[in-house]
Amino acid sequence: MSSNINNIPVEQLRSVYRICYQLTEYYQKVIYVVRLDQRTKKIVILYGPPENDPICITVTPKGITNYE
């Protein structure tokens, strides 16, 4: 199963870019995984300090972010 970036909505890509930029540039956090969930079409970002469990952010196709 291959993924095509053209199938991902622009709002979702913008949100993911903004979040990843802010995490690495402003907050100096390590991003472990950025992945598209094929079932829900949400993009999942796992980040955090190496000594703790990763924190999860999901981004919906409409660009709405959920912190879990």
Q: Where are the domains of the chain?
A: 5-67
Mean pLDDT, rounded, for 36-61: 92
Mean pLDDT over all residues of the chain? 90
In what helix (H) or strand (E) does residue 10 lie, and over which residues does it extend?
A: helix 10-21
Percent share of the chain, pLDDT over 90: 72
What pTM does this model have? 0.86
How far does the chain reach from its first CA to its final CA, in angstroms? 27
DSSP 14: H
